[in-house]
Structure 1
Amino acid sequence: MRSWYRSTVGGLPRLYWYLWTGMLINRVGGFVALVLSLYLTSARHLSVPVAGLVVGAYGIGGIAGVLCGGVLADRWGRRSTLLLAHFGAVAVLSGLIFARPIPLIAGLAALLGLMHSMPGPAFVAAIVDVTPADDRSRAFNLQFWAFNLGMAVASVLAGALAEVSFTLLFTVDAAGTLLTALLILWKVRETRPAHRVSSARPAGGLHTALTDRAYMSFVGLSLLLAILSTQTSTILPLAITGDGLRPSVYGSVVAYAALLIVIGQLFVPRLIDRWRKGTALAIANVFLGLGFAAVSLADGVAGYLAAASVWTIGSMIAAPPNAAVIAELSPEALRGRYQSVFYLTFPAASFIAPAAGGVSLQYLGNWHWIVCGSLGLLAAAGHLLIQPARERRVAEQLEAERFAVPVAG
């Protein structure tokens, strides 16, 4: 047990654990987004199409928040960005409790999406700042674990509180967000490294990430992974109910996958630490592809649980090297911006997966899941192909940063 503790959670900086605790509290309390459409239709009596537009405003705000969060984390600092996002979210949630006009609700929903998405790039950039390179795989693995544990608890709380009072739900969410903000204010110092100049790699801006071929190749492959992962929340419910199973079966499958992650993610670092990151990502995508391809054979609860076991293994393997590669490819002065570009894959996948997946499932039937499996294998091959060039780029960047000199400002 002592050996497991040292290899899994031991030795990480104290500041990392403050950030980790803040993320966990934020995830546990961040459940308004999960039931926003239900709140709009049942408590505000909006029609389904209008509620959909308001939820869409939340999504648009999220896209803007990802980019703003990355830019501000590099310009203002990680701590300032986190405080702005969390205190801002508290204010918006408080406004939503009393908002009645539909345009006001839509505007506040967009602002909430903005505030909810801003902390992501800043949190991860801060983790990279304070965690030694050799420990980042463990740090990101524990971050992924906290995220899933928080989401699992949030899902249960959201359903329970929504049955009691939406006002109570918004209040508890605001209280959790405020608690995170106070923790950051009290315990988290600014982690942004001193600006450094290097003749080999100037600081640049957001366009630097968007025109970085090595990085955007990795982001493109990550988009395929995100599209696969998003099947669980978009197309999988349709497949399960299409097989004549009750909606509760879908909830059971999702809960089972979350439980696997909470239990198994703590043991992943010891398994993959000796693997090259591209190899680990290739294996992860193979498991994801095989898991979703197995859905084509599932027609009962056991079949769906078996498929979930396979794709969840892929998700667990992918999380630590995915985050570590982003950290490696991000120039020190642009960590927030690089994180924000990567985070854009999630809203993009949230659009592509249901839009293309719905048509695919309707016309291809179970062959849709074979296509998903093929995408997983394609992404696996891509990671193996780009691995040598990416590793050379990382080595060159490390060499350049060795000779960079700190400057004021």
Structure 2
Amino acid sequence: MSTTASDRSSVDKPRFRDTLRSLPRRVWVISLGSLILNAGSFLPSFIVLYLTGRGYSAGAAGLVLGASGVGNVLGNVIGGYLTDTIGRRAAILLSVVATAGLTALVPFVDPLALIVVVVGLIGLVSQIHRPAMAAVLVDSVAADQRLAAFGVLRFAQNIGVALGGAVGGVVASISYVGLFLGEAAALLLFGLIVTVLLRDAPKAQSDADDEETQEDSAVGYRQALGDRTLVRFLLMAVFAMFVYIQTTVGLPLHVSDVGMNARDFGLLMALNGLVVVLFELPLISVVSRYRPHHVLAVGNLFTCVGLTLTGFTTGMGLLAVTVLIWTFGEMVYSSIAQAHLASLTPPGLIGRYQGLYGAAYTIGTGAGPIVGGAVYAFAPWALWTMVGVLGLLSAQLCLRLRRPDDAVAAAHS
């Protein structure tokens, strides 16, 4: 990583901790809501156990998961459009209220076909709020605060996910009805926070400059997908997420193949979670000094190297080292991806750009387990080779994620 020639010295820039303190209330409101939302998000993690416990086959559970995955992709695209048209706050409220209602229905639905429809709709409406939340952050902060704002949001999400896994396991052991009703309650609490504490800010100047784009979703997405820089960004995200999701596919399969057990895998993943919670925010203060496209490339390289080495590693100690390597890559990539995308976004398309990123993210994480599992079954070395190749491709694409005429992208997001 290298700084630009025109970068100001570190003396002229506020310290990262001062930037955090100066973040507006809207950032903290969205982050608090996201923590609650993730802490109460049980359906994606427990739907398979719930269905098999009710006597449905693994194939039926897979069909339900597939419907949810398709819904996730469409939900991000639709959410991007709604964010740019009906507004950020309205899109968030629509998403959480609809998701709460549908989630509360799940334990009372019996026919498999109806379960597929309901869970597929949940997958769709549950993603609508994501581009809107990202747009709220972009609207609320200056360009040099974006990295800190998205860092706070991701920190809150990580805490929420950790809490949700622990709480969900306890509640599921008592009652799945209580589990899904609890998720619906968490969604409504998030909606209440948005209703009471989040007010739509005056329309961002960048949005006001492009009314024509906002009035036609076809024009908006056609314009977005005609942006070669965005297309490179989306391809990078698909490859990067395909590689990263092998932490839940290739890694556990490898752990089992080398004679280790589920407890060992759990400890490795706990190491990942602990490092992310403790070090990601401090790391952001370091990477903020460098060009964002270089930071993204380095993050993808570390993730690629760490996971590729997994296939050649045995023993808890060495595997822990590989976990630390790809965890560093995860933190570097995740800390800056959405913030840098915001700096590449033209007027009036914040929601659509963030929505397309969410769709690319979902495609990568959805295809990764299916393709990765099949390739590993054919030959483990083939999966780790694929991980290495796609990781290098994603890093190479990162180096082209800069607009020559964009001073903001040339400095810092």
**When the two structures are superposed, what TM-score results if normalisation uses the length of structure 2?**
0.89
Residue 78 of structure 1 corresponds to which residue in structure 2? 88
Contact 1:296/1:367 (8 A) holds in 2: no
SS at the partner of 2:23?
coil
- Whether 2:35 is the aligned partner of 1:35: answer no
What are the residue-to-residue correspondences of 1:293-372 with 2, within 5 Å?
Answer: 293-366=308-381, 368-372=383-387
Equivalent-residue separation in structure 2 for 1:59 and 1:302 (angstroms) = 35
Alignment correspondent of 1:391: 403
Residue 28 of structure 2 corresponds to residue 17 of structure 1: yes
Q: Secondary structure at the match of 1:93?
A: helix
Query: Which residue in 1 is equivalent to 2:171?
Result: 161
Aligned length: 391
Alignment of structure 1 residues 218-367 onto 2, 5 Å = 218-366=233-381
* Aligned mates of 2:141, 2:375 — CA distance in 1: 43
RMSD, aligned CA = 2.2
**2:180 alignment counterpart:** 170
**Offset of 1:367 from its aligned partner?**
5.1
Shift of 1:374: 3.4
8 Å contact from structure 1 (residues 292, 370) kept in 2? no
Query: Where in structure 2 are there 5+ consecutive unaligned residues?
Result: 1-13
SS in structure 1 of the partner of residue 259 of structure 2: coil
Secondary structure at the residue paired with 2:200? coil
Distance 1:291 1:396 in 2: 31
Aligned-residue offset at 1:127:
0.6
How far is the alpha carbon of 1:202 from its aligned partner? 5.9
SS in 2 for 1:208: helix
Q: Distance in 2 between matches of 1:16 and 1:198?
A: 25
Query: Is the Cα contact below 8 Å between 2:64 and 2:119 reproduced in 1?
Result: yes
Structure-2 separation of matches of 1:375 and 1:226 = 10
Q: How big is the shift at 1:270?
A: 1.7
Alignment of 1:151 onto 2:161: yes
Where in structure 1 are there 5+ consecutive unaligned residues? 399-409
> Against the structure 1 CA distance between its residues 223 and 7, is the aligned structure 2 distance closer, same or farther, given a 3 Å change threshold?
farther
What is the TM-score of this pair, normalised by structure 1? 0.90
Superposition deviation, residue 336 in structure 1: 0.6
Hey, what's the Cα distance between the residues in 2 that align with 1:301 and 1:116?
37
Q: Deviations over 1:315-363 (max 9, x none)?
A: 1111232112210112231111111111112221134322332233234
Question: How far does the alpha carbon of each residue in 1:5-34 deviate from its partner, in whole angstroms, 9 at most, with x for none?
Answer: 734621000111111111111011112210
Residue 4 to residue 325, structure 1, CA distance change in 2 (3 Å): closer
Q: Check 1:336–1:262 CA distance in 2 against 1; reply closer, same or farther (3 A cut).
A: same
Structure 1 residues 156 and 89: alpha-carbon distance in aligned structure 2, compared to 1, 3 A threshold = same
Identity of aligned residues (%): 30
Counterpart among 176, 190, 205 of residue 220 in structure 2:
205
More displaced stretch, 259-268 vs 201-210: 201-210
Give per-residue Cα distances to partners, 1:263-305, cap 9 Å, x unaligned: 0112012211110001111111121111012202222222222
Stretch deviating more after TM superposition (147-156 or 124-133): 147-156
Superposed displacement of residue 223, structure 1: 1.6
Contact persistence 1:70–1:339 (CA under 8 A) = yes
CA distance in 2, matches of 1:343, 1:83: 18
Aligned equivalent of 1:48:
58
Separation in structure 1 between the aligned mates of residue 227 and residue 289 of structure 2, nearest angstrom: 28
Partner of 1:189: 199
